[in-house]
Amino acid sequence: MPSYNPADVERRWQQFWETHKTFRTPDPGDPAAAGKPKYYVLDMFPYPSGAGLHVGHPEGYTATDILARFKRMRGFHVLHPMGWDAYGLPAEQYAVEKNVHPRITTQQNIATFRRQIKALGFSYDWDREVDTTDPGYFRWTQWIFLLIHDTWYDPEQKKGRPIAELPIPPEVRARGEAAVARYQDGYRLAYQAEVPVNWCPALGTVLANEEVVDGKSERGGHPVERRPLRQWLMRITAYADRLLDDLEPLDWSESIKQMQRNWIGKSEGAEVDFELASVRDYREANPSELVDGFAPIRVFTTRPDTLFGATYMVLSPEHQLVDRITTPEQRAAVTAYQQAAARKSEFERTELAKTKTGVFTGAYAVNPVNDERIPIWIADYVLSGYGTGAIMAVPGHDERDFAFAKQFGLPIRTVVRPTDEWLTKTGSTLDALTEAYSDVGVAVNSGLLDGLPTAEAKQKIIGWLQEKGVGHRRVNYKLRDWLFSRQRYWGEPFPVLHPADGGPTVRLDPGVLPLVPPDLEDFKPTGTPEGPLSKATDWVNVSIGGKDYHRETNTMPQWAGSCWYFLRYIDPKNTEALADPAKLRYWLPVDLYIGGAEHAVLHLLYARFWHKVLFDRGYVPCPEPFQRLVNQGMILGEYEYHVTVEAEAANRAELAGLGVVATRRESEDPKKPDTYVLKVTAAEGDKPANLPDELVEKVKGKMVLKGLGIELATKAEKMSKSRGNVVNPDDIITEYGADSLRLYEMFMGPLEAVKPWDTKSIKGVYGFLSRAWRLVVDDDAEKLKLNAAVKDIEPDKDTLRVLHRTVQKVTEDTDGLRFNTAIAAMMEFVNHVTKLEARPRAVLEPFVLLLAPYAPHVGEELWRALGHTTTLAYEPWPAWDPALTKADEIEVPVQVNGKVRARLRVPAEIGDKELEAAALADEAVKAQTAGKTVKMVKVVPRKLVNVVVG
């Protein structure tokens, strides 16, 4: 063979690995695993879209593959699987568009993804492949649903327990079986409720809060409206505290942990009841009468210490008390405001948040701490979905309340003393604040709290409220229960039956699972909240034991299958259980999980929640599934030159004269202006290319278009079809091979960094692989033959040192996921050995082993050229000798007053005294210090000398 030909090498080795099942992972008891520590490296499995693989996919997959191969060579028993997250909206949308059954499109998409992924040479154990739409898989998704449905959360023990263990109050038991069933239904972790949901008419389904961004669907950007519907929900809120606390010890990036914490949004404070003034008046006038039916207004606050500063109250426009308390004079204004608020989407409400709006209801409430009567307003700055949907407004110490109070002339009272510094800075006095002081401080104007610092004041007032029966301590979460049903066809059916007579929902026996969806011809959404499954009347209506039932016509959301797939890889063919407990004990938790940051909250939070339920019920051995999580950074498109709209307009003719084509590019951020992208077209029919260097110059640190002086901005943007900057991995593999693609993606920069793609840079890694190839292989021979320069000789000292340094660097950097610097070290090795006339086999062999996890096809082929007949996948990883990494002679810089003036070549083991003497004896140093007094000489042993003169 010949010169490096990736297409040939890669095809043959992929074939070899497949036929020899090189990467089959034996189960724990197997002799092949004996004595080895386990290592579970997991990729976030892809959603096989119609568009095929994107260059972003191989980034994470290459990283995990390098680590999997590295760990195998270091003696670990490695689990490294792949599968498909194939249920869900996008597949169904695609199927509806193409008018092909989603099962067919899904299988086609999976086939494409599998082919593309296999072409990259990853060392997956393909015998463990899972597909969430496979009945053998979703049988267990449904089984887990039943388990969650069978579980209630015991706040005492802080864990999920079987519903059979839920204590039933005697009065409920007395009312009979149906009553007990209804009571239990109220506690299940999977439950049905009529709740206001995010209904998306365009998609014909409801969406989880997590799937709605800025009031639009995350997918497609369609408008979303609120409407009440019967839905399945998961009581994830019961686990909020554990999801929060267990985050702490995980080896995840701080930013992802923070995003999860924010999403859970725990805040501690108090709930306080404010009685209506009218109720109080009536009660006081009729002391003997039992006044009922007028509940107080309950608010949640994190600052109960500021209760004395509450000068008004605000209810959300949707609050149920609004209609009952509004006075006749205010009725018209209130109704009008409510209607206006209802018309606004959530998005508009927040978008137009600059000025506060609101209306007085005419009613008053009594502040329980000082019996003061304060007006009750409604305003849309108070959200119905958080806390109690009502607040006590403390304008002195809350920015929003302050703005509102200013807007409507409501009183502002200082009840926490700001620092003097703050008063001066803001130009406030204690009696006249110019803005809200929301920090902690010492309570003033607050009766029994006066003089207490915030923390103590909170404790004291909560105690007081509890004593009086008008308030209590309360923890609140932003996290909502997880809306778990979708009105779609392409998802797991719920394994339940609804009795036609309206009785409590019945669970299917786990033994009859999987419940397979009906084979619908027409799977399009109905456009109504009845899902497409309702069209399959034969499937929906069943009669068991003479009783009529109908099946649930909602399906589970896309996230269901991905909540537990990493468990199924461990035992993918098990028909008795989701996985063998012994195998789960062996492999869990996942040691390293790599994937995109877009799953920071959704998938990772849901999967953690399911895992905890499974843990509580004894099905998995650990409370957290993913010990270490790394998010790869996004790969952006190639950088392009942009100019402002004004510059384009002013220079249109000149640009055309230079052969430059300007295309308007809409800004993603509505707050930022559009730009024009500049390209050139060399010949007719050519794809426009980036501006060549001849057209660009640097003037005063700014990039400008040569001649015209227009300022250019270089920008790299997300890859997207609309921008036409998507890179297809297939094209790169055809031109340079999978090894080069792998290497390039790792060489671009740190794994976690966002980085722009640059196709021409692949030449660098391709050249490196070609050089490595020629190092070992005879380039001119017809067949694979060892290069004649490879000899069984002792390496010289220098070469040995380069080898040992390379082994050390590559080992440490691979272990730390610093693949870019590991590759740089291998490049330096090749640059060094290329210069040698005779190349010692003793340094080439370890090098090939180092290279193999990164470029496995080239690695195997070179290993074969060196005379080996088996795969190198399980060869021991090379070791390095620290003594051999050290040089005999080192270069030490000498500074005079902190500036490098000379470099000395000295023996590596030189003492400080000798080093100092050598430095002072140096001619260049003498020249710099001549005529000056040496004040001090700082010697950093074997590193540096600094001579200070004055």
Binding piece for RNA, criterion CB under 7 A, among 199-207, 284-292, 348-356, 524-532: 348-356
Based on CB atoms, which residue is closest to RNA, 522 or 923?
Answer: 923
The alpha-helical segments, DSSP class H, found in 469-515 are: none
Tokens 């063998």 locate to 580
Residue (108 or 820) nearer to RNA, CB? 820
Name the minimum Å distance from CB 869 to RNA.
Answer: 29
> Interaction with RNA in 694-723: which residues (CB under 7 A)?
698, 714
Binder among 149, 356, 486, 742 for RNA (CB under 7 A):
356
What angle in degrees, to the nearest 10, is found between the helix axes of 762-776 and 738-747? 120
Strand pairing report for 312-315 and 506-507? unpaired
Cα–Cα distance between 850 and 822 in angstroms, integer?
A: 9
Q: Are strands 755-756 and 635-636 parallel, antiparallel or unpaired?
A: parallel
From 57, 242, 303, 612, residue interacting with RNA (rule: CB under 7 A): 303
Q: Cβ closer to RNA: 726 or 824?
A: 824
The footprint of RNA on residues 773-832 (CB under 7 A) is: 818, 820-821, 823-824, 827-828, 831
Could you tell me the CA-to-CA distances from 210 to 90, 199, 202, 263, 612 in Å, in that order? 16, 13, 18, 9, 20
Which of 174, 291, 295, 352 lies at the binding interface for RNA (CB under 7 A)?
Answer: 352
Return all residues near 81 (Cβ < 8 A) that are at least 6 apart.
25, 42, 124, 125, 128, 129, 130, 569, 572
Distance between CA 731 and CA 225 in Å, rounded?
43
Q: 700 is written with which tokens?
A: 């005063």
CB of 218 to RNA, least distance (A): 9
Among 136, 265, 453, 621, binds RNA (CB under 7 A): 265
Q: Looking at beta carbons only, is 349 or 460 nearer to RNA?
A: 349
Residue 231: how many CB atoms within 10 A of its CB?
Answer: 21
Kindly report each contact of residues 504-512 with a partner whose C-beta sits within 8 Å and lies 24 or more positions away, as own/partner: 504/178, 504/181, 504/182, 504/185, 505/185, 505/192, 506/549, 507/146, 507/149, 507/150, 508/142, 508/146, 510/143, 510/146
Q: Which tokens is 708 given?
A: 């015209």
Q: Which residues contact 768 (CB under 8 A, 6 or more apart)?
A: 743, 823, 826, 827, 830
How distant, in Å, are the alpha carbons of 107, 211, 223, 595, 608 from that of 598? 25, 12, 21, 9, 16
Q: Nearest approach, Cβ of 811 to RNA (angstroms)? A: 15
Interface mask (CB under 7 A) for RNA, residues 239-258, using x and -?
---------------xx--x
Nearer residue to RNA within complex by CB, 39 or 300: 300
Specify whether the CB–CB gap between 226 and 197 falls below 8 A: yes
Tell me phi and psi for residue 653, to 5 degrees.
-65, -45
Q: Binding to RNA by residue 349, rule CB under 7 A? A: yes
Please say which residue, 673 or 876, places its beta carbon nearer to RNA: 673
> Where in 734-753 is the site for RNA (CB under 7 A)?
747-750, 753
CA distance 527 to 586: 47
The 377-396 contact track toward RNA, x by CB under 7 A, reads ---xxxx-xxx-x-x--x--
Count the Cβ atoms, other than its own, within 10 Å of residue 15: 10
The least CB distance from residue 6 to RNA, in Å, is 13
The distance of closest approach from Cβ of residue 335 to RNA in the complex, given in angstroms and rounded to an integer, is: 19
Residue 693 touches RNA, criterion: CB under 7 A: yes
DSSP category for residue 489: S
Q: Give residues 501-530 in contact with RNA (rule: CB under 7 A).
A: none
Q: How far is the CB of 284 from RNA (least distance, A)?
A: 29
Distances (CA, A) of 763 to 637, 749, 760: 18, 16, 6
CB-based contact 557:485 (threshold 8 Å):
yes
459 or 820: whose CB is closer to RNA? 820
b or e along 659-675 (b: 16 or more beta carbons within 10 Å of the residue's beta carbon)?
Answer: ebebeebeeeeeeeeeb
Answer yes or no whether residue 332 interacts with RNA by CB under 7 A.
Answer: no
Identify which of residues 362 and 750 has a Cβ nearer to RNA in the complex.
Answer: 750
Encode burial over 171-201: b for 16+ CB neighbours within 10 A, e otherwise: eeeeeeeeebeebbbebbbbbbeebebbbbe
Closest approach of Cβ 892 to RNA, in Å? 7
Pick the binder of RNA from 267, 534, 627, 728 (CB under 7 A): 267
* By the rule CB under 7 A, 765 interacts with RNA: yes
Distance (Å) of CA 750 to CA 595, 626, 746, 757, 850: 14, 22, 8, 13, 19
Instruction: Give whichever of 48 and 557 is closer to RNA, judged by the CB atom.
Output: 557
Footprint (CB under 7 A) of RNA, residues 200-219 = 213
Q: Which is nearer to RNA, 332 or 352 (CB)?
A: 352
Query: Binding marks (x or -) toward RNA, 542..561, rule CB under 7 A?
Result: --------------------
226 burial level (CB within 10 Å; 0-12, 13-18, 19+): middle
Q: Is 136 in the site for RNA (CB under 7 A)?
A: no
Residue from 125, 131, 211, 398 touching RNA (CB under 7 A): that is 398
Angle between helices 819-834 and 738-747 (to 10 degrees): 120
Helices (H) and strands (E) in the chain, counts: 32, 41
- Residues 596-615 interacting with RNA (rule: CB under 7 A): 597, 601
In the complex with RNA, which residue's Cβ is closer, 338 or 487?
338
Please report, as residue ranges, which positions from 451 to 490 form the binding site for RNA (by CB under 7 A).
Answer: 476, 478
When computed from its CA atoms, the radius of gyration of the chain, rounded to whole angstroms, is 35
CA 189, 190, 195, 199 torsion-angle sign: positive
Cα–Cα distance between 568 and 566 in angstroms, integer?
A: 6
Binding RNA (rule: CB under 7 A), the pick from 5, 15, 157, 262 is 262
Closer of 26 and 911 to RNA (Cβ): 911
Residues 638-677 close enough to bind RNA by CB under 7 A: 639
Minimum distance of RNA from residue 439's CB (angstroms): 12
Report the residue number, 162 or 767, with the smaller CB distance to RNA: 767
81-100 positions binding RNA, by CB under 7 A: none
Q: Which of 139, 755, 839, 864 binds RNA (CB under 7 A)?
A: 755
Binding footprint of RNA, residue count (CB under 7 A): 87
If one asks whether residue 771 binds RNA (CB under 7 A), the answer comes out as: yes
- Residue 7 interacts with RNA (CB under 7 A)? no
Beta carbon nearer to RNA, 352 or 879: 352
Q: Which is nearer to RNA, 545 or 701 (CB)?
A: 701
Q: How far is the CB of 181 from RNA (least distance, A)?
A: 34
Q: State the minimum distance, in angstroms, from the CB of residue 901 to RNA.
A: 6
DSSP-derived secondary structure letter, 786: B
- In the bound complex, what is the minimum distance in angstroms from residue 46's beta carbon to RNA? 20
In the window 883-942, what residues touch RNA (CB under 7 A)? Answer: 890-891, 893, 895, 897-901, 903, 924, 928, 936, 938, 940
